[in-house]
Structure 1
Amino acid sequence: MTSRRRRLSAHDWAEAALEALGTGGVAAVAIEPLAVRLGTTKGSFYAHYANREALVSAALTLWEQRSTEAAISTLETEPDPEARLRRLLTQAARRAGQNLSETNIMASAGHEPVAAVVRRVMQRRVQYLVSLFEQVGFPRTEAVHRAALAHTAYVGLIEMMARLPGALPIDSPGATAGYVESVVALLLHRTGGGDPQEKPEGLLP
């Protein structure tokens, strides 16, 4: 007696595509290999998606929701913006060495529609950081500069720890905590200056 095969949903396909995208980039999102991995046929795929591009788009939407919107929603439960910033940077640093998915997706940003989603995610993150620095008390210009610095530090950190594990001396939990505290102290250090009304061109809409 043969067991009945579970009917796969569009979400199942998007999950598998996101995993493939995270481990091998856009080229790894191929229908036949994904069908084999899921234990199904291409017919299951076409029951949910018109083509491969639609599947890539669904996977990217899933990544955007989890990596950015869900993370921001969780952080918003903390009322103190400075504590929120510290928690955000701590979580980012702890995930850095395990974040191959993020680095591979960003590395695929030369392809559409990956580029559009990655750009939107990066802008959303920077905008959120700007709002945190403004809530802490920095004027607009300074908040934008510090948000850009915080985000580029994060991108560099995940790239180094994912591609060259062990190259940075902050792999242990104690070292990571010390790193985060140093980064927070640097980002919150007040240097004075900056026009609250000035809006740097190109960073924010």
Structure 2
Amino acid sequence: MAERKRLTAGDWTVAALDALSEGGLAAVAVEPIAVRLGTTKGSFYWHFSNRDALLEAALLRWERVNTEEVISLIDAEPDPHSRLRKLLDLTLSHPAEQPVDRAMLTLQANASHPLVAPVFARVTRRRIDYITGLFAAAGFPPDPASRRGFLAYTAFLGHVHLASTSPELVPQGADRRDYVDSVVATLTRP
């Protein structure tokens, strides 16, 4: 008889975030996730006191992976212009090249949910502040840097929505590179 792998809280968290991305907040339910993981509800209760604790863990994972880890990756670039270009290149990708952050769309649609609201607001603020900082580091004064940071983030939100609902409309290959170049040129024009 094969020995069953012992699941961790991280396994449950990843599965919850996947469920959230695929089916919305209602999909973060203990029994279906247990089936997905090939285990019982007992495993869940070993790691979490209730569904809300699992949802909170999934939200924090989303924040860490899709915001803080991306920022760390971008910060490895040597100068502000390279960081801005890399960020836009990464975030304005085609779904075939980079999976769409479907969790973000779900969370945006549920931004008033008591568990989602503080995380979504914090992530939104962090992302806009980070992008604004890139423009400031590239030499833009505070007000124009702020406006450009906001514009870049709202363009990203529109891109994610379009990539999720109509991926065939999102440029890819050489057209995507030209698109990213034009976005960078538009946002960095004096």
TM-score, normalising length: structure 1 = 0.87
**CA-CA distance at 1:165 after TM superposition:** 2.2
2:133 aligns with one of 131, 134, 143: 131
Within 1, Cα distance between the matches of 2:62 and 2:116? 11
Within 1, Cα distance between the matches of 2:172 and 2:156? 17
Q: Within 5 A, what are the aligned runs for 1:125-164?
A: 125-164=127-166
Within 1, Cα distance between the matches of 2:87 and 2:172? 18
Q: Would the aligned equivalents of 1:10 and 1:49 in 2 still touch at CA under 8 Å?
A: yes
Provide Cα deviations, 1:135-157, integer angstroms capped at 9, x if missing partner. Answer: 11111011000000000000001
Displaced runs of 4+ in structure 1, greater than 3 A? none
Letter in 2 for 1:174: A
Where do 5+ consecutive residues of structure 2 fail to align? none
**CA-CA distance at 1:25 after TM superposition:** 1.1
Query: Which protein is bigger by CA-based radius of gyration?
Result: 1
Query: Percent identical across equivalent pairs?
Result: 46
Within 1, Cα distance between the matches of 2:128 and 2:95? 18
Would you say 1:175 and 2:189 are equivalent positions?
no
| Count of paired positions | 187
Pairwise CA RMSD: 1.3
Partner of 2:4: 5
**CA-CA distance at 1:95 after TM superposition:** 5.1
Q: Which has the higher helix share?
A: 2
Within 2, Cα distance between the matches of 1:31 and 1:95? 33
Within 1, Cα distance between the matches of 2:95 and 2:66? 13
Provide Cα deviations, 1:149-195, integer angstroms capped at 9, x if missing partner. Answer: 000000001101111222x3x432111111111111111111xxxxx
Partner of 1:38: 37
